[in-house]
Amino acid sequence: MTALARPLSLLSLVLAAALFGFFYAWVCSTMWGLDNADPRVAIAAMQAMNASVRNVVFAPAFFGTPVALLITTLVLWATAHRTAALWFGLATLLIALPGVVLTMAVNVPRNEALALVDVPNQIDAARAIWLAYSPDWQFWNQARTLATGLGVLCIGLGLLKLR
């Protein structure tokens, strides 16, 4: 089982970093761009992006990261890499709860509600819809980004503890 510790640790790092990077891109570019666009365009673009994100490329990072982290934590613990296991365990909690669970509880329902909206022709009506959606969505996205970023940091600290 010791032979599995390093590859699992690296897999966990790659998956967690992919998830963090995905959330981070929304923070530092995507949402700012949409906020600066015509709100009719922003709504339609967000609907299209949300519809496209459920795919085989994104699924491993989103659903697989907590699983890989948990398995890695258990293997590290079982192979007497206790300090590393504690860091990976903390990463598991940070990514699974604020990262994945928060997304499913807050961001996804907001996305699904936006998907049901017919984009209005009038810019003021579209602006009202976008302003009711974007600020709260961004707040929770920043929360999950921070949590997954801290999770990646914990993985790094755990990797430093492996001998």
One DSSP character per residue, the chain reads -HHHHHHHHHHHHHHHHHHHHHHHHIIIIIHHHHHHS-HHHHHHHHHHHHHHSSSTTTHHHHHHHHHHHHHHHHHHHHTT-HHHHHHHHHHHHHIIIIIIIHIIIIIHHHHHHHHTPPPPSSHHHHHHHHHHHHHHHHHHHHHHHHHHHHHHHHHHHHHHH--
Residue range 40-67, pLDDT digits in tens: 999 999 999 999 998 999 999 999 999 9
Whether the predicted model's global pTM rises above the 0.75 cut: yes
Average pLDDT, the chain: 96
Q: φ and ψ at 118, to 5 degrees?
A: -85, 125
pLDDT tens-place string over residues 94-116 = 999 999 999 999 999 999 999 99
